[in-house]
Chains A and B, each alone.
Chain A
């Protein structure tokens, strides 16, 4: 094929993609076209790769964690977490915003999704913050920024996806997220306290030790969830998929106990998490054909060689990748980005001499920051919907939080120990 024909094809695909063709079909179309042009590959391979790409028990963890998140975000469990976080940090400057940061972090340790975190914490806490005199933009920015911890603190849909498609240990990737997640929570709290002191935001009343203890005891059944899930994975007792399904039934048991919902709503929850999984898996199926082609064309090696001509210093290349992913994260949802890039980037990591868990975690972290940036940041859209404010106003208010996260991203890149400490301790067992 001439270079011109390739460029023309690429341009057509770009236009089709940007006009809104579902990513799953863009991936399948791209692969079918490649197969047709190559001439010597049977088209049936495409269908075989799609089926093979989904033939994995590890993938089952995703619908299970979605389901658990849907079950947990309805009421009881979340409210007890918020009460507990309130007893701890409510009396500090900007107390309500701090409650959002802390309870989002805890909720993140029970679910793996930013949007579920917005829905659970944001819908309850946003009205409370506005009632206490916070500006709508700041209150919404706190909710959106805190929700990003959802897919970083394990369990995490994005990390599971990267592990499966990039062939990196899912358990280690999940453990890698614990300390960076804590760092994000600390960063958020630091910025909120600073902002609250400047603007003179209201504090809540100080709780007595007995009150803190009471709220803790009430939250214990909910707090057991992350202990169960992370402990199970960390200790190597259960697989990630097993931990995920146990978390579904644990959340169900809690809701039965709190008498949260009936049959009608249970079916709705099954449907919502199932439909979300179907869309996700269709992308994975399409991505499976693309990654087969990528391997066949030895693209990772070509990219590695090309990048080594750019610089012989791996850190420079890592920085370039970081910058590229920051931009890509703005333009593209993280799921297709991970499905397409994980196979390429995880072999690039090995080629450059980086630990694939460290490199992979930073990749996912960077793409997730894109949830907070226009034009396609889903966390912005969902939060703007909850808060009923303009997306542009919200994206301006989110900028300081973004800067905090980008700084943390650079730190994660430069200091591999932050991500690798826990996975290595776990591995040593």
Chain B
């Protein structure tokens, strides 16, 4: 199962990103106030980790339905499955747009560098590209499962 693997990947990424963010930012506080030698790049790298956390990490929300929504209409049975297929297809289309433009921008910006850390600015858009790709795969699997449920296979 591809999506199980992707989910493990995003699980790992979430944990690592949280560690990097809090560890680096705490180090920055220590360096600024106790050692009086600010680590300017630490804030920048923390924000970058936050971007990766957002886009790739959101993939885990697909299967456990962790996204915030305003579901006031609550259809039952087959209508519910049908509705969720329609909504998921719309989301897949949106994600395809993000993948395409994420890739375009990542390629455009790959030579630019972030001011404090010297990392490539392409990494910013690469996060959107990769995250949208992982989410798209998870949504496609969800759609396939819903169709199977609908046809009773």
Contacts and interface: CB of A to CB of B under 8 A. Distances in A.
Contacts of B43: 57
Contacts of B74: 20
Interface of B: 11, 14-15, 17-19, 21-22, 25-26, 28-29, 33, 43, 46-47, 50-51, 53-55, 57-58, 60-61, 66-75, 83-84, 87, 90-91, 94, 97-98, 101-102, 104-105, 124-125, 127-128
B87 A20 contact: yes
5 contacts: A44-B104, A48-B105, A51-B124, A63-B53, A277-B54
A285 B50 CA distance: 12
Interface string A112-131: 00000000000000000000
Interface in A31-82: 32, 43-44, 46-48, 50-51, 54-57, 59-60, 63-64, 67
Contact of B98 (A47, A60, A238, A333): A47
A210 to B, nearest CB: 39
Contacts of A241: 25
Q: Is the interface of A mostly helix, strand, loop or mixed?
A: helix
Contacts of B21: 60, 63-64
Contacts, number: 175
Interface stretch (A143-151, A178-186, A267-275, A395-403): A267-275
A280 B128 CA distance: 15
A375 B104 contact: no
Q: Among A57, A333, A335, find the residue whose CB has the most chain B CB atoms closer than 10 A.
A: A57
A43 B128 CA distance: 14
A372 B112 CA distance: 48
Contacts of B18: 63, 67, 270-271, 273-274, 277
A159 to B, nearest CB: 18
A46 B43 CA distance: 25
Q: Is the interface of B mostly helix, strand, loop or mixed?
A: helix
Contacts of A51: 51, 105, 124-125, 127-128
Given A18-B72, A50-B128, A283-B68, A275 B47 contact: no
Question: Interface extent on A, as a size class?
Answer: 35 or more
B53 A279 contact: no
B125 A60 contact: no
B42 to A, nearest CB: 10
A64 B22 contact: yes
B94 A25 contact: yes
A332 interface: yes
Given A21-B91, A25-B90, A28-B94, A59 B50 contact: yes
B29 A238 contact: yes
A51 B127 CA distance: 9
B57 A278 contact: yes
Contacts of B94: 25, 28-29, 32
Contact of B72 (A47, A275, A375): A375
